């Protein structure tokens, strides 16, 4: 989706974005997130989602190479688990060696988990991604763009460059890369996938309706679609999420100084009603 093709729709989208940036999270969402924190405070006591762990089945990824040492061997039987912190460590090690494919594999397996793998969609798609001749160059360019220019530029460097690698998964690569190689300017990259986009769509629809800029929710559905977000949309997303994290940090129901990725983790797993 190229937002710049929207003519007057883009002006309305910009107006909704400005309203969202001013209002940030409504009280109902803040309360829902506070309940999430009350339930998960022990797990994420350091204010980061580093302990966020997924379960995956190593044996379903036997065709994938290179395979990160941080992941259980593909010869292992049954399921295994890996946390965000463990993936971050694996990515940092891989990037230090310029093993970009290995870093991607670690983030992809964590992102996919057990979802989609029984039919082979996860491993088969990753296998095709790894077979792309230009993969190393694309990942290296994104890492350089992130380090030297910022997260939106790194997003733009990857968008549409690698067949089969869409933003829901390459933002996972950027997120973990940003932990190892923080950008010199702008916000830290965060994961943006269909779940997070739908959360923002829900917020945007409410703001658009209340402000009169998007009475029927069509603008929210347009800009916060289920995929193929523009680099501009990713920039808007990061700006909102970092500002909302600051908003929450000032609330007694949320840990002060918590990282913005804790909010991303919470939004991924929390539903709410925007009214009330």
pLDDT for the residue numbered 63: 94
**Which of residues 275 and 200 earns the better pLDDT score?**
200
pLDDT for the residue numbered 4: 54
Residues 17-61 have pLDDT tens digits of: 999 999 999 999 999 999 999 999 999 999 999 999 999 999 999
Q: Measure the CA–CA gap between 23 and 88, rounded to whole angstroms.
A: 32
How long is the chain?
Answer: 276
Is residue 167 within 8 Å of 155, Cβ to Cβ?
A: yes
pTM of the model: 0.94
Is residue 64 within 8 Å of 72, Cβ to Cβ?
A: no
Confidence class for position 168, pLDDT limits 50, 70, 90: very high
Angle at 271 between CA 267 and CA 274, to 5 degrees: 100
Q: Measure the CA–CA gap between 39 and 268, rounded to whole angstroms.
A: 15
Mean of all residue pLDDT scores within the chain: 93
Confidence class for position 272, pLDDT limits 50, 70, 90: low
């Amino acid at each position: 989706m190229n937002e710049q093709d929207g003519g007057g729709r883009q002006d309305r989208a910009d107006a909704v974005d400005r309203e969202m940036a001013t209002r940030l999270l409504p009280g109902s969402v803040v309360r829902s997130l506070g309940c999430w924190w009350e339930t998960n405070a022990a797990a994420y006591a350091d204010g980061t989602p580093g302990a966020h762990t997924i379960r995956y089945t190593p044996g379903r990824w036997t065709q994938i190479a290179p395979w990160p040492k941080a992941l259980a061997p593909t010869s292992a039987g049954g399921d295994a688990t890996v946390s965000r912190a463990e993936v971050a460590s694996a990515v940092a090690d891989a990037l230090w060696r310029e093993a970009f494919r290995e870093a991607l594999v670690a983030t992809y397996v964590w992102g996919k988990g057990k979802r989609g793998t029984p039919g082979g969609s996860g491993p088969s798609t990753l296998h095709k991604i790894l077979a792309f001749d230009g993969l190393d160059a694309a990942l290296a360019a994104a890492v350089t763009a992130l380090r030297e220019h910022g997260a939106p530029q790194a997003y733009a460097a990857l968008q549409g460059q690698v067949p089969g690698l869409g933003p829901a998964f390459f933002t996972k690569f950027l997120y973990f890369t940003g932990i190892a190689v923080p950008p010199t300017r702008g916000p830290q990259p965060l994961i943006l996938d269909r779940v997070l986009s739908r959360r923002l769509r829900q917020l945007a629809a409410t703001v658009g309706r209340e402000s009169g800029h998007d009475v029927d929710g069509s603008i929210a559905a347009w800009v916060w679609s289920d995929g193929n977000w523009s680099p501009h949309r990713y920039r808007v997303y990061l700006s909102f999420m970092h500002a909302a994290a600051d908003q929450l940090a000032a609330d007694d129901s949320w840990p002060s100084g918590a990282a913005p990725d804790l909010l991303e983790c919470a939004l991924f797993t929390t539903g709410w009603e925007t009214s009330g």
